[in-house]
Amino acid sequence: MKAAVFHGVRDVRFEEVDKPGLSEGEALLRVKACGICGSDLHTYREGLFLGLGLPTETGRILGHEFSGEIAEINGHIEGVNVGDRFTTAAMGANAEYLKITAETARFLVPIADGVSFVEAATTEPLATSLHATNLANVQDGETIVIMGAGIIGLGILQCIRAGSSAKTIVVDLSNKRLALALELGADKTINALECDVQETILGASDQRLALVEAPEGVANTVFDCVGATRNFTGVSVLEQALSIVKPDGKVVVVAVFEKPLEIDPNIIVRKGIRLFGSWAWTREEFVQALALISSGKIDRRPLISHEFPLEDASEAYETQANADTAIKVMLIP
Ligand SMILES: [Zn+2]
């Protein structure tokens, strides 16, 4: 079968690999769409998180945000037939086929008729956004700041919009991403290249001068969907988040960090900040995420910025690595 194999940093090759063999109770999914995830990018650019790839003889097959249809079943799997459309959680979907193990087969989530494979392939990142949003327990009337308007930050915006009338401020470096945030219902956007984020947000509240050392903050919750890249310097987004959140407010960290940060934790103590790490999702949230898409409450189509055939996987990874223009790049095997 055809696959895009990760060989090393910035080296993804389109090659022929063995089609997975099936044991009794296993199935083969023909992958119809697979998104490139931020974590795949950490692997592609820095060689991190290798465990998220499926090992082959020559390298690893990345990709875990996918959808497809059942092509083959060995034996019988209750409720699963050849031709059925599913999404689920597994690794190695930058390929023509993916093995559905007996364990994965217990968590195949059916895709409703009106939902395309490409939309369904955004279920996993939406579930990640939903999990982070649920941690924040957003209420009507609150002010929420989302730092980072990639697929996770924009997904959080969509989850908030679908569930409350909270006011949302979205911060990013890309005007393209910020324009999309406005289109998706953000109340305000800030380009962090064009102004000082802390000053812009805190200044608007007239609280900036009063409490310079421990700024009072204006946000009930701040989401850090940025983290830090290996070559990052300056004031981290997490530090900014701690400064713009209200006393007793929440900071939810959904990003991953390519290196440790130096932060003065006193601000967390003095403001009584509730700091949450948000990793992945529960199965209920995964199912809910797809239901939000199928019910039309959340439209993922504007987030699909590019589609590439699997042959062009290398170009697809380079495109996703350009945060200025790409939101979600899809590989279509
Ligand atoms: Zn992902």
Residue 270 region by backbone torsions, left for phi larger than 0, else alpha for psi between -120 and 50, else beta? alpha
Q: φ and ψ at 80, to 5 degrees?
A: -125, 125
Boundaries of domain holding 8: 2-122+300-332
Q: Is residue 325 part of a domain?
A: yes
Distance 242 CA to ligand 1 centre (A): 25
Please work out, in degrees rounded to the nearest 5, the angle formed at the alpha carbon of residue 232 by the alpha carbons of 235 and 144: 50
CA of 64 to the centre of ligand 1 (A): 6
Calculate how far, in angstroms, residue 60's C-alpha sits from the geometric centre of ligand 1: 16
- Distance (angstroms) between ligand 1 centre and the Cα of 215 equals 34
Same domain? 252 vs 155: yes
Is the domain of 266 the same as that of 132?
yes
Is 286 part of any domain?
A: no
pLDDT band at 22 (very low <50, low <70, confident <90, very high): very high
CA 262 to CA 235: how far, in whole Å? 10
Question: Can you point out the beta strands (E) in the chain?
Answer: 2-8, 11-16, 27-35, 54-55, 60-61, 65-73, 85-87, 97-100, 109-110, 143-147, 167-172, 188-191, 219-224, 245-253, 274-277, 304-309, 328-332
- Answer whether residue 115 is part of any domain: yes
One domain, residues 152 and 70: no
pLDDT (average), residues 157-168: 96
Cα distance between residue 288 and residue 130, in whole Å: 9
One domain, residues 245 and 143: yes
Task: Give backbone dihedrals phi and psi of 298, rounded to 5 degrees, phi first.
Answer: -130, 130
What is the percent of the chain with per-residue pLDDT over 70, rounded to a whole number? 96
Q: Is the pLDDT of residue 332 over 60?
A: yes
User: For residues 312 and 52, which has the higher predicted lDDT (pLDDT)?
Assistant: 312
CB–CB of 36/331 below 8 Å? Answer: yes
pLDDT tens-digit series, residues 249-273: 999 999 989 899 999 999 999 999 9
- At residue 204, the pLDDT reads 58
Ligand 1 center from residue 298 Cα (angstroms): 18
* Residue 125 Cα to ligand 1 middle (Å): 5
- Clarify whether residues 312 and 257 are in a common domain: no
Residue 333 alpha carbon to ligand 1 centre in Å? 18
Q: Tokens for 225, please give them.
A: 């969907």
268 & 177 share domain: yes
Q: Is the confidence at residue 212, as pLDDT, over 80?
A: no
Does 213 score more than 60 pLDDT? no
Work out whether strand 27-35 and strand 97-100 pair parallel, antiparallel, or are unpaired: antiparallel
CA 216 to centroid of ligand 1, rounded, Å: 34
CA of 269 to the centre of ligand 1 (A): 32
Would 287 be classed as within a structural domain?
no
pLDDT tens-digit readout, 314-327: 999 999 999 888 99
- 176 and 81 housed in the same domain: no
Identify whether residues 93 and 223 lie together within a single domain.
Answer: no
The CA-based angle 163-291-62, given to 5 degrees, is 110
Mean pLDDT within 107-129 = 97
Q: How many angstroms is it from 34 CA to the middle of ligand 1?
A: 10
Whether the pLDDT of residue 205 is over 90: the answer is no
- Check whether 207 has a pLDDT greater than 50: no
- Domain shared by 71 and 117, yes or no: yes
Chain Cα centroid distance, residue 126? 7
Gap from CA of 127 to ligand 1 centroid (Å): 10
Whether residue 320 lies inside any domain: the answer is yes
By percentage, how much of the chain surpasses pLDDT 90? 85
Which of 277, 292, 320 terminates a domain? The answer is: 277
Q: Please indicate, yes or no, if residue 57 is contained in any of the structural domains.
A: yes
How close is the Cα of 37 to the center of ligand 1, in Å?
A: 4
Residue 65 lies in a domain: yes
How many whole angstroms from 211 Cα to the centroid of ligand 1? 39
How much distance in Å is there from the Cα of 206 to the middle of ligand 1?
39
> DSSP 3-state assignment of 247?
strand
In the predicted structure, residue 209 carries a pLDDT above the cut 90 = no
pTM of the shown model: 0.94
Residues 85 and 109 in one domain: yes
- Look at residue 214 and tell me whether its pLDDT is greater than 80: no
- Domains held by the chain: number: 2
The CATH number covering residue 146 comes to 3.40.50.720
Residues 100, 130 within the same domain: no
The CATH number of the domain where 11 resides is what? 3.90.180.10
Ligand 1 center to 35 CA (angstroms): 8
Helices and strands (H and E) in the chain: how many: 11, 17
Q: Are 87 and 62 within one domain?
A: yes
Q: What pLDDT, in 10s, does the model give residues 53-81? A: 899 988 999 999 999 999 999 999 999 99
Q: Report yes or no on 221 lying in a domain.
A: yes
How close is the Cα of 316 to the center of ligand 1, in Å? 16
